[in-house]
Amino acid sequence: MKHLIALVIATAFIPASAFAQAPAPKKAGIESKEYKWNVMEGKKAEALKLKGDPKAGEESYEVCGACHLPNGAGRPDGTFPQLAGQHATVLIKQMADIVEGLRDNPTMYPFAKEALKDPQELANTAAYIQTLCIPTDHGKYEGKDYAQQVAKGKELYEKECKECHGPNGEGNAEKFYPVIAGQHYKYLLRQMTEIRDGKRRNANPDMVKVISKYTDDQLVAISAYQASLKMPGKMCAEKGAKKKKG
């Protein structure tokens, strides 16, 4: 644990230009005709076959907690997603994609390549994250037209998003479709915009086809609706809630 904490402290004082000297590897993604989103190979394929150890994963998560917070809540401003409540399979795929250069994340890469060097660590970290309770509060759309945006977003979501992400945004662990219910609004909007604009190289091609026609206003509405949904799973206890006497 100490070496991981030291890594966080040390890298916090390293300028971004230092990381630029050793950039992440670049694997061909959505821009390549040969790219296949659901082919599991490399570290993610190995990690998915392993049984994760939550206790060991708690130590690996020390690095992740610096940005995603110790409780996995992420940041409401959209800079870092909520991890608590996400499928372990999705976590493994996304972490591996970043380490192997299939998903661009210059902020996370320097930490991930050190803390998640082998498949077992990937499996352990994902297993630990799954033990975290889901925060009861998260970043939502804050416009005065909240009700209208959510209603419009629901209509769009049920038309083309529900088939893969589920009627309540619960995703599909076996198919690597993420839980999007209750994710931070600003993070959802940023990711969908990047997918639509071809900037997220490990995106699902099927989703790119669907989302490519959406306007900025429509993405706002869909994100507002998704953020309004309740994440499935074990919710954290409300602050100040009185315990029932047994």
pLDDT digits 0-9 by tens, 90-113: 999 999 999 999 999 999 999 888
Long-range residue pairs from 217-220, CB within 8 A, at least 24 positions apart, any chain:
218/152, 218/156, 219/189, 219/192, 219/193, 220/141, 220/149, 220/153, 220/189
Spatial CA neighbour of 86 closest among 133, 22, 130: 130
Binned at pLDDT 50, 70 and 90, residue 4 comes out as very low
Q: What whole-number distance in Å separates Cα of residue 223 and Cα of residue 201?
A: 20
Predicted local distance difference test score (pLDDT) of residue 115: 80
User: Same domain for 38 and 123?
Assistant: yes
CATH of the domain at 216: 1.10.760.10
Which of these three, 98, 129, 160, is where a domain ends? 129
Region 70-80 average pLDDT: 97
User: Same domain for 11 and 113?
Assistant: yes
Region 169-185 average pLDDT: 97
Tens of pLDDT, residues 199-223:
999 999 999 999 999 999 999 999 9
User: How much is the mean pLDDT over the chain?
Assistant: 89
Q: Are 73 and 156 in contact (CB under 8 A)?
A: no
Predicted local distance difference test score (pLDDT) of residue 114: 85
Binned at pLDDT 50, 70 and 90, residue 245 comes out as low
Q: What whole-number distance in Å separates Cα of residue 60 and Cα of residue 98?
A: 16
User: Same domain for 79 and 154?
Assistant: no
Predicted local distance difference test score (pLDDT) of residue 113: 87
Per the structure, the complete domain to which residue 117 belongs is given by 7-129
User: Same domain for 83 and 160?
Assistant: no
In a domain, 237, yes or no: no
User: Same domain for 32 and 97?
Assistant: yes
User: Same domain for 116 and 168?
Assistant: no
Q: Are 189 and 225 in contact (CB under 8 A)?
A: no
User: Same domain for 15 and 100?
Assistant: yes
Q: Are 238 and 136 in contact (CB under 8 A)?
A: yes
Give the whole-number percent of the chain exceeding pLDDT 90. Answer: 77
In a domain, 120, yes or no: yes
Region 147-170 average pLDDT: 97
User: Same domain for 160 and 223?
Assistant: yes
Phi first, then psi, for residue 230 (nearest 5°) are: -90, 125
DSSP state of 13: T
Indicate whether 180 pLDDT > 90: yes
Region 160-177 average pLDDT: 97
Q: What whole-number distance in Å separates Cα of residue 183 and Cα of residue 4?
A: 27
Binned at pLDDT 50, 70 and 90, residue 168 comes out as very high
In sign, the C-alpha dihedral spanning 64, 69, 73, 78 is negative
In a domain, 2, yes or no: no
User: Same domain for 186 and 76?
Assistant: no
Tens of pLDDT, residues 137-153:
999 999 999 999 999 99
Q: Are 132 and 220 in contact (CB under 8 A)?
A: no
In a domain, 246, yes or no: no
Q: How many domains does the chain have?
A: 2
User: Same domain for 125 and 150?
Assistant: no
Tens of pLDDT, residues 6-44:
444 434 434 444 444 467 789 899 999 889 888 888 889
pTM of the complete model:
0.88
In a domain, 240, yes or no: no
Q: What whole-number distance in Å separates Cα of residue 63 and Cα of residue 124?
A: 13
Q: What whole-number distance in Å separates Cα of residue 41 and Cα of residue 34?
A: 14
Cα 160 to chain centroid, rounded: 21
